[in-house]
Structure 1
């Protein structure tokens, strides 16, 4: 069992350990709790969003006994527990360690890995990237250098469909058939083609090279580098060649990102040797929150009617693989009955929000209540409500941006890095709902 550590301080630096570099990084974890207005907050890193039902049970128990009774999904497929008492941090760490959710105290905040949630399920990706996921997580937890990465640094493992490849990873691996992988640094179109079998090791080398290039503790991500990404990519190529990699430099357009999995039944490729046609269920969680009873329903469905696995998505959803195709529609009805989103026709589809008031002192509004009051027809674009200009947890790509201000709410469309000029809607009357609906299209 892992030894418990004080929840409000980071792990101490060891000889030769560069974790001191990240001392100014305030990203919460499970050993460093964040103090919010609704209590302490713990962020449990779940690489690739993969959870066993036993681990899901542990998270539910912790939310009920130590927190506010809800699990909050993040835009990286992680889980936040809120409303925690600060003096329960040791118990939290011990239980997470026993369940395998905290494999390394020194690396727990750097295990930020998103992965294509339908990889290996629907047959549409170019390869199953789950072996990459387990290998990369093992490499991260085994090395001292990785402890210097900030809690914001992101790895993305894309099976070739372009979903998580569009989420702004610092290091992105994209499958190119079974034999090759594309290594991308940040949003650069210049990339490196490498053997797929060496992809996890290459991703780690790229992250370690970033640490060598970063001039100070303020460079948390590759886009923070003052000289840009080009010199970093050159250095990564040199390091890979020194390590004996066979590689080729190339260019590849950035994926536009099809977004998360469509909600509902995800058919799997039919196996002629299997008399049962398997499928998966893709579900949404209103505002990324799920109560302990709802979570238990999800877990029991995965345990008794699926493969025993839950996959949390960076779009604040859950995929349950391995259900019988003939039972899928009935299971969806059961899950809809407990308040989950099971189809694109739900008014909750594409609606997100930060925690807002009363949980965050910086928020100017209870944006979750405002988003609920403004629910309307499903729009062409997702909408994200933020309680202040920090826009914590906002999506990527194109969306409608709603930000609380002292004068009301600013509404604009976002296209990548470009924001349209916002329009301010005062108050929180029906006019706000109409303005949001018009912006979503």
Structure 2
């Protein structure tokens, strides 16, 4: 049995690495404005190792930050907040929403960007959900199957026709209208919080609960086949650029010419075609 609380890092809960503090900044669906990424790089250059790192959950990290008693130095924290990447101090650790990177740009059965935005709004509006574990993950697949094999706590797969089938841990949930999906997922997250309890032994994931969160439902016949990862290079809707484990430096960020970018779950950045954002 696990005997420690979740320690997934954030800005207000940095991780003490050997080279200084590491912070993680959550992006909803990986989406970020190019100017915001530039601002974050400015912070990394002034206070950290001069690079912005990407994660397998399509989030960003900055490392080697100054430590004062296990917390970020106040001026470094203020600089990170000025980027706009910490919209909620209370819910920063629970904004873990992965979305098909090409959604709304090319392909897929539905544009899930509005669903993701509504989900983020509802998550941050519920005080009880601030206690979700930092590893709790929501995955939204727009029906192309690119995230179908990603494990998650909650999520959905678009079926077309304005509907989607919910994912509840490793089970399938009911088919719901897309315009109700965000609220249904938030209700399930609330049910998880109520069931998990508290303390270091409390479950981090839906599948760790004693009993199912909901009754399982059969997989819908309209579900897609797994689509696999997005290849690097020119792809429908843009250009997928790989990011090394060393992260993005000034030259790499400058080369990402677009108003809005999408960090992908395959340690890359999708640069949308001109006219798409």
TM-score (norm 2): 0.89
* Residue of 211, 218, 232 corresponding to 1:263: 232
Aligned counterparts of 1:157 and 1:90: Cα–Cα separation in 2: 35
Q: What pairs with 1:17-416 in structure 2 (closer than 5 Å)? A: 24-87=5-68, 88-122=72-106, 124-188=107-171, 190-217=172-199, 218-227=202-211, 229=212, 232-234=213-215, 249-252=217-220, 257-268=226-237, 280-287=238-245, 289-298=247-256, 301-302=257-258, 308-323=259-274
Higher relative contact order (CA 8 A, sep 6+): 2
Contact 1:166–1:256 under 8 Å retained in 2? no
User: SS in structure 2 opposite 1:290?
Assistant: coil
Q: CA RMSD in A?
A: 2.2
Deviations 1:136-193 (A, max 9, x none): 11111111011010100001111011122321110011111141111110111x3210
User: SS in structure 1 opposite 2:24?
Assistant: strand
Cα distance change of structure 1 residues 215 and 252 upon mapping to structure 2, 3 Å threshold? farther
Unaligned runs of 5+ in 1: 1-22, 238-248, 269-279, 303-307, 326-441
Cα distance change of structure 1 residues 89 and 162 upon mapping to structure 2, 3 Å threshold? farther
Deviations 1:296-329 (A, max 9, x none): 322xx11xxxxx101000111000113379xxxx
User: SS in structure 1 opposite 2:13?
Assistant: coil
Cα distance change of structure 1 residues 100 and 214 upon mapping to structure 2, 3 Å threshold? same
Contact 1:93–1:102 under 8 Å retained in 2? no
Contact 2:9–2:93 under 8 Å retained in 1? yes
User: SS in structure 2 opposite 1:198?
Assistant: helix
Unaligned runs of 5+ in 2: none
Aligned counterparts of 2:57 and 2:73: Cα–Cα separation in 1: 23
Larger C-alpha radius of gyration, 1 or 2? 1
Which structure features the higher share of helix residues? 1
Contact 2:54–2:60 under 8 Å retained in 1? yes
Contact 1:160–1:176 under 8 Å retained in 2? yes
User: SS in structure 2 opposite 1:167?
Assistant: coil
TM superposition shift of 1:259: 2.9
Contact 2:148–2:227 under 8 Å retained in 1? no
Cα distance change of structure 1 residues 324 and 39 upon mapping to structure 2, 3 Å threshold? same
> Number of paired residues?
267
Contact 1:63–1:69 under 8 Å retained in 2? yes
Aligned counterparts of 1:110 and 1:143: Cα–Cα separation in 2: 11
Contact 1:63–1:292 under 8 Å retained in 2? no
Aligned counterparts of 1:166 and 1:132: Cα–Cα separation in 2: 20
TM superposition shift of 1:291: 1.9
User: SS in structure 1 opposite 2:192?
Assistant: helix
